Amino acid sequence: MSTSQTPVQYVPAKPAKSIKLVDESQAKTNLLGMTQAQLAEYFKSIGEKAFRSTQVIRWIYQQGVTDFEQMTNLSKSLRDKLSANACVIPPKVIHRQYSDDGTRKWVFEVTGGSLVETVLIPADDSKLNGRKTLCISSQVGCALDCSFCSTGKQGFERDLTAAEILGQLWVANASYMTDENDSLDNVDHSLWANNVTNVVMMGMGEPLLNYRPVVSSMELMLSDHAYGLSKRRVTLSTSGVVPKMYELAKELDVALAISLHAPNDELRNELVPINKKYPLEQLMAAARNYVFDVNPRHKKHVTIEYVMLDGVNDSNEHAEQLVTLLGDLPSKINLIPFNPFPHADYDKSSNNRIHAFSNILIDAGFVCTIRQTRGDDIDAACGQLVGRVADRTRRSAAWQQSIKDRENS
């Protein structure tokens, strides 16, 4: 469902001079994405006090400073030591697209040449007070092969590091401090503001299959010394890696979303193949554990994501099965109109069908929303995160052309 017909601005990225790009020959330690504990260990390992970790974290995430020389509350000798041995390097932006509806998409080249995408979606509701949600990728491709997902069609390449995961957030915030040439050279870092208000681990990949870097990154999103986002504004979305859901429940308190997409095992085995390993009974038990058992004082709910596929999972009967499946699990259901991509096997459900499905859930007492598609002029809408870009031939051609254009400009 297209909500924006406005023309897209295609803006090949020009790396800002003040952002250092990856130089593997330097073999320096990248401090981006290190948790406070990891950074404290690092400082101890170079003969410095652990409390330096707090100072450096604040510089990186609250003022956007990546150049140690600008970290003025560090001694000159420490700044020199860090410059010689460490770096703060976000992933390299090779392409960016900004939609007129405020949606932004970046294509990053990570170490080894793989490409990942990140999308920032602003709320179009003024009541939501400037909410800007960043959809972050956790892996290059995905091994889980959900049948309706363009990322799944790519296959799995590799896990992202914490620097590559958190770097997506760093770059998204930095994008509001750049001028039209993407230069950060003239930015007054004391005026730095983190504009991204919400993060969803819902981009490319299954975050719970890249557990440690994802959890480290979310720790920094929550840390008051780094991004200080509220735990309700950081959401991890899983297709149902059940053992890791229990582990996460013990370790970190963030919002949980489940990519459900089907109300019975037979259909879910087809749409979300990991269901064969962890069927719905186990998945629902893990969801209940997350909501009820770990910290019952916190009022939590699970967000249920359900992509609406025409004639596949969108009947009244499916809605009724979903009501039964969720039972008394505090749930907010988010119906996602399918965004077809090249070679997709499915079509999107009609608006009437989606509303009929939604009404059954609402009548049963659930909060149910229908996701508004945003940024579809730049392939950033849900399910299009890779979208046409997943066509690698076309992607390579388009990006190579944009890189040539940039070099010639």
Query: Which residues in the 229-248 window bind ligand SF4 by CB under 6 A?
Result: 239
- Contact segment (CB under 6 A) with ligand SF4 among 37-45, 149-157, 341-349, 400-408 equals 149-157
- Contact segment (CB under 6 A) with ligand SF4 among 46-54, 94-102, 198-206, 365-373 equals 198-206
Find all residues with CB under 8 Å of 45, minimum gap 6, and list them.
none
Give the nearer residue to ligand SF4 in terms of CB position, either 90 or 152.
152
Question: Whose structure tokens read 């040539």?
Answer: 404
Residue 198 C-beta: closest distance to ligand SF4, Å? 19
Query: From the candidates 48, 87, 117, 157, which is the catalytic residue?
Result: 117
Give the nearer residue to ligand SF4 in terms of CB position, either 107 or 149.
149
Instruction: Respond yes or no: is residue 164 known to be catalytic.
Output: no
Residue 373 carries which side chain, given as an amino acid letter?
Answer: T
- The response to whether 261 counts as a known ligand-binding position is yes
Residue 178 in tokens: 């750049």
- Contact segment (CB under 6 A) with ligand SF4 among 8-16, 36-44, 140-148, 212-220 equals 140-148
Residue 313 C-beta: closest distance to ligand SF4, Å? 14
Residue 320 C-beta: closest distance to ligand SF4, Å? 24
Residue 154 C-beta: closest distance to ligand SF4, Å? 9
Q: How many residues bind ligand SF4 (CB under 6 A)?
A: 12
Give the nearer residue to ligand SF4 in terms of CB position, either 59 or 341.
341
- The response to whether 149 counts as a known ligand-binding position is yes
- The response to whether 260 counts as a known ligand-binding position is yes
- The response to whether 205 counts as a known ligand-binding position is yes
Query: From the candidates 87, 135, 368, 382, which is the catalytic residue?
Result: 382
- The response to whether 206 counts as a known ligand-binding position is yes
Residue 73 in tokens: 């509350």
Give the nearer residue to ligand SF4 in terms of CB position, either 101 or 206.
206
Give the nearer residue to ligand SF4 in terms of CB position, either 161 or 259.
259
Q: Is 151 in the site for ligand SF4 (CB under 6 A)?
A: yes
Q: What is the CA radius of gyration of the chain?
A: 22
Candidates 146, 222, 378, 390; binder of ligand SF4 (CB under 6 A) is 146
Instruction: Respond yes or no: is residue 117 known to be catalytic.
Output: yes
Q: Is 259 in the site for ligand SF4 (CB under 6 A)?
A: yes
Candidates 101, 117, 164, 206; binder of ligand SF4 (CB under 6 A) is 206
* Catalytic residue ranges: 117, 382
Chain residues in the site for ligand SF4 (CB under 6 A)? 142, 144-146, 149, 151-152, 204-206, 239, 259
Annotated binding site for [4Fe-4S] cluster: which residue ranges? 142, 146, 149
